[in-house]
Amino acid sequence: MSSGGISKHRRALGARGEDLAAAWYLERGYEVLDRNWRCREGELDLVLSGAGATVFCEVKTRTSHAFGSPLEAITAVKQRRIRVLAGRWIADRGHPGGELRFDVVSVLAPRDAAPIVEVLEAAF
């Protein structure tokens, strides 16, 4: 484990998932406003603008379903924390306009196959 508590492999896997998620949004005309935005309370994976909305996106990446679906990792507690972080982001950056939306992206990235990206828009 690294000093941050996350192994180098898990960090690289997470970054790959975020790259794939950002590419999905960019292909659909969204603009990435922030990536890995941090404050005292935590981190937002992606903040995007498009389709008349500011989107706060949580990305979960796994290599298999051995520990459940990536989407199952977004608990009610995690949802509340993301909402708090979104409020902090808006206080820091300002509201770009449009509705606020909370998306979840599941990336299944097996070592021996192409990754599968699933986007759940307005997840919570």
β strands within 18-98, DSSP E = 31-39, 42-50, 53-62
Tell me the whole-structure pTM to 2 decimals: 0.88
Residue 16, token pair as written in the block: 């790959």
The domains of the chain, with CATH numbers, are 8-120 (3.40.1350.10)
Distance from the first to the final alpha carbon of the chain:
32
Residue 89, token pair as written in the block: 């982001």
Q: d(Cα 69, Cα 108) in Å, to the nearest integer?
A: 8
Q: What pLDDT is stored for residue 2 in this prediction? A: 43
| pLDDT tens digit at each of 124 positions of the chain | 444 556 888 888 889 999 999 999 999 999 999 999 999 999 999 999 999 999 999 999 988 877 777 778 889 999 999 999 999 999 999 998 899 999 999 999 888 999 999 999 999 9
CB 123 within 8 A of CB 105: no
